[in-house]
């Protein structure tokens, strides 16, 4: 039984939540997001928040209610505050630069890597080795950060590569050498 699904999503005054057919649309100061609602669920929208109701005859509806409630809560947070993800580039000569709506990476390969940012995601580079991604869609932001990290995953010996700032790289000991 989902306890998260029973909670009401609080909506600030600056956020407007509407329902159109099988979608929930959330509009706020930073933009607009929408999410499809499963047929087992219904959404009740009132002045103080959004409540997800489930069909009691469907077993899958219990898990879906918690998921849907969390997705709506993330949309409300996204259109009010937005989300941020920070990445760090470790390695001699590894760096990134911003060229319009595209990140250009030098990650130890023989060529530069051009990474176009998806619509709705913006990047800033305080240092050539630090990337801050921001956006209102949490799923798209996480997927973009994962794709950037996959360009050169951190290796376990020296830790070189692209990593999340909060990520801890488990280090391995290299060769012991001849005695």
Mean pLDDT (whole number) for 119-146 = 95
User: If one looks up domain 83-164 in CATH, what number appears?
Assistant: 3.90.930.12
Question: What rounded mean pLDDT belongs to the chain?
Answer: 91
CA-to-CA distance for 74 and 81, rounded, in angstroms? 10
Q: What is the pLDDT of residue 2?
A: 61
Residues 104-120 have pLDDT tens digits of: 999 999 999 999 999 99
Q: Where are the domains of the chain?
A: 9-80, 83-164
What is the CATH T-level fold of the domain 9-80, as seen in this structure? Outer Surface Protein A; domain 3 (3.90.930)
Please work out, in degrees rounded to the nearest 5, the angle formed at the alpha carbon of residue 12 by the alpha carbons of 45 and 73.
65
**Torsions phi, psi for 50 (to 5 deg):** -125, 130
Mean pLDDT (whole number) for 60-78 = 91
- Other beta carbons within 10 Å of 177: 5
Identical fold at 9-80 and 83-164? Answer: yes
Which residue did the predictor score with more confidence, 2 or 108? 108
Min mean pLDDT across 134-143, 145-154, 170-179 is at 170-179
- Residue where the block lists tokens 């077993």: 59
Closest CA to 37 of 49, 14, 58, 54: 54
Share of the chain above pLDDT 90, in %: 74
How confident is residue 168, by pLDDT bands cut at 50, 70 and 90? Answer: very high
How confident is residue 29, by pLDDT bands cut at 50, 70 and 90? Answer: very high
Indicate whether 157 pLDDT > 70.
yes
Indicate whether 31 pLDDT > 60.
yes
Residues 37-65 have pLDDT tens digits of: 999 899 999 888 999 988 888 888 888 88
Closest CA to 41 of 60, 27, 22, 54: 54
Indicate whether 1 pLDDT > 60.
no
């Amino acid at each position: 039984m989902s306890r998260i699904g029973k909670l009401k999503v609080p909506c600030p005054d600056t956020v407007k939540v509407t329902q159109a057919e099988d979608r929930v649309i959330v509009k706020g100061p930073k933009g607009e997001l929408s999410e499809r609602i499963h047929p087992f669920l219904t959404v009740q929208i009132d002045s103080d928040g959004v409540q997800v109701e489930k069909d009691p005859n469907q077993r899958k509806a219990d898990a879906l209610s918690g998921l849907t409630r969390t997705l709506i809560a993330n949309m409300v947070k996204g259109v009010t505050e937005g989300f941020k993800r920070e990445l760090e580039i470790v390695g001699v000569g590894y760096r990134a630069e911003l060229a319009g709506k595209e990140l250009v990476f030098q990650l130890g390969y023989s060529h530069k890597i051009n990474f176009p940012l998806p619509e709705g995601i913006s990047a800033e580079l305080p240092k050539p080795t630090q990337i801050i991604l921001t956006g209102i869609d949490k799923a798209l932001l996480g997927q973009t950060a994962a794709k950037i990290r996959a360009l050169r995953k951190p290796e376990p010996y020296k830790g070189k590569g692209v990593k999340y700032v909060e990520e801890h790289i488990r280090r391995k000991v290299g060769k012991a050498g001849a005695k």
